[in-house]
């Protein structure tokens, strides 16, 4: 039996997945790409040896990354998605009727092509007329953007070539690109295994946004699993929904919106660097 092993960063544990069949293995200009079939999780997308998504549980990540900021905003019309070449985030964004335009900025065209071929349930909305795809560096796009309601950064880990998306400079550009009620969100690792990284991302966003917060979702295929999403807002409190959720979702709901946010006391500890476990 073939197996794929992924090492959790900084932690002496690895996750091993049974590989039923390798569907694709190649190298783009930016990274190694692999797609394989696992008997439980279905098709899995691996970039540079790190699990990005599985067919079975991708909805946890894509719903939570997208719908929390989208519901905290009164009426998101213009949205930027940085990364997320698989299309899962764009699919969720387009569930919101208010959306008129999605700038889909994926540096690696190959990921989009692979997803169209192997992950049709994720890439299904990429060709929607409201979507404008640009294969370029998200940070460069953001520098020149304006009038944006929501920026969703759907990137790989803050190591390697996605590092620039976790910088103060980047979040300052994001803030400039956003309208007054705008907000941005970015995945920020596990609260269980990497509370130090979560805290760092929060402080970085704080350098550019008056309102910063963090919420979580359970994701079995991301090491540490109690996964965080860091949010920066120019004015509005992201814990507060501006309208009820009426979308077709598997996990996200009005109730989950509240439940997802890290409790205040735990959050204070995090920001003081006292979450050490």
**Is 180 labeled as catalytic in the residue annotation?**
no
Measured CA to CA, the distance from residue 104 to residue 62 in angstroms comes to 15
Cβ distance to a copy of itself smaller for residue 71 or 78: 71
- Under rule CB under 8 A, residue 92 binds a copy of itself: no
Q: Which of 141, 154, 209 is nearest to 180 (CA)?
A: 209
Measured CA to CA, the distance from residue 209 to residue 30 in angstroms comes to 30
Tell me the closest approach of the beta carbon of residue 49 to a copy of itself, in angstroms.
14
| Residues 31-70: x where in contact with a copy of itself by CB under 8 A, - otherwise, as a string | -------xxxx--------------xx-xx----------
- Do 86 and 115 form a contact (C-beta atoms < 8 A)? yes
Q: Where are the alpha helices (DSSP H) in 73-192?
A: 88-93, 109-118, 120-123, 138-144, 168-177
**Other Cβ atoms within 10 Å of 234 Cβ, number:** 17
State the chain's maximal CA–CA distance in angstroms. Answer: 54
Stretch that binds a copy of itself, among 15-23, 85-93, 111-119, 144-152 (CB under 8 A): 15-23
| Residues 161-200: x where in contact with a copy of itself by CB under 8 A, - otherwise, as a string | -----------------------------xxxx-------
Tell me the closest approach of the beta carbon of residue 6 to a copy of itself, in angstroms.
10
Paired tokens of 104: 């889909």
- Do 175 and 145 form a contact (C-beta atoms < 8 A)? no
Exactly one of 57, 86, 108, 154 is catalytic; name it. 154
**Residues 256-275, interacting with a copy of itself (CB under 8 A):** 256, 258-259, 263-266
Q: Which of 83, 224, 232, 238 is in the footprint of a copy of itself by CB under 8 A?
A: 224
Measured CA to CA, the distance from residue 10 to residue 226 in angstroms comes to 16
Cβ distance to a copy of itself smaller for residue 22 or 220: 220
Measured CA to CA, the distance from residue 224 to residue 31 in angstroms comes to 24
Chain contacts with a copy of itself (rule: CB under 8 A): 3, 5, 10-18, 38-41, 56-57, 59-60, 190-193, 218, 220-221, 224-226, 250-251, 253, 255-256, 258-259, 263-266, 277
Catalytically annotated residues: 154
């Amino acid at each position: 039996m073939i197996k794929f092993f992924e090492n959790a960063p900084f932690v002496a544990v690895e996750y091993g997945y049974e590989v039923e069949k390798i569907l694709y293995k190649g190298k783009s200009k930016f990274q190694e790409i692999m797609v394989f079939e696992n008997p439980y999780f279905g098709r899995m997308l691996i970039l540079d040896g790190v699990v990005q998504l599985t067919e079975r549980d991708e909805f946890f990540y894509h719903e939570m990354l997208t719908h929390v900021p989208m519901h905290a905003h009164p009426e998101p019309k213009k949205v930027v998605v940085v990364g997320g070449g698989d299309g899962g985030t764009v699919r969720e964004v387009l569930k919101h009727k208010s959306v008129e335009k999605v700038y889909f900025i994926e540096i690696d065209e190959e990921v989009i092509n692979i997803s169209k071929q192997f992950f049709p349930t994720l890439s299904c909305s990429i060709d929607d007329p409201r979507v404008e795809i640009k294969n370029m560096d998200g940070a460069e796009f953001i520098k020149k953007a304006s009038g944006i309601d929501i920026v969703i950064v759907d990137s790989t880990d803050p190591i390697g070539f996605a590092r620039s998306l976790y910088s103060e400079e980047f979040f300052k550009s994001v803030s400039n690109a956003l309208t007054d009620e705008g907000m941005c969100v970015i995945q920020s690792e596990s609260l269980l295994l990497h509370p130090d990284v979560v805290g760092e991302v929060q402080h970085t966003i704080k350098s550019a946004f008056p309102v910063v917060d963090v919420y979580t979702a359970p994701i079995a295929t991301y090491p540490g699993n109690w996964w965080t999403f860091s949010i920066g807002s120019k004015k509005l409190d992201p814990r507060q929904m501006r309208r009820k959720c009426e979308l077709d979702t598997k996990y996200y709901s009005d109730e989950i919106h509240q439940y997802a946010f890290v409790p205040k006391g735990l959050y204070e500890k995090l920001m003081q660097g006292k979450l050490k476990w």
